[in-house]
Amino acid sequence: MASAVCIDRCICSKVPFTELKEAAERTGADTIESLQAVREFGVNCRLCHPYVRRMLRDGTTEFHEILRDE
Ligand code: FES
């Protein structure tokens, strides 16, 4: 059965994690803050932060589970 949860972007800024991953690879940004310097995202509810952190760690851009801030 397909998972009901699919999180693949910063919803507030409408920026897909695939775009953030590209920006990270292009610029070498490896933290939320350094990534925000090159791409606007994650400034409203910040619920995307744990996902972006995971993405920066292991490259995942699509999540089927709820992540909370670590
Ligand atoms: S989902 Fe990224 S700031 Fe709200």
pTM: 0.93
Domain annotation for the chain: domains and CATH numbers? 9-58 (1.10.10)
Which of 6, 7, 10 to mutate to test ligand 1, by most ligand atoms within 8 A of the CB atom?
A: 10
- Tokens of residue 44, six digits: 């409203």
Distance 8 CA to ligand 1 centre (A): 11
Residue 29: CB atoms within 10 A of its CB come to 18
Distance 7 CA to ligand 1 centre (A): 11
pLDDT by 10s per residue, the chain, length 70: 567 899 999 999 999 999 999 999 999 999 999 999 999 999 999 999 999 999 999 999 999 999 988 6
Give the chain's end-to-end CA distance (angstroms, integer): 29
d(CA 2, CA 58): 23
Ligand 1, closest atom to CA 45? 4
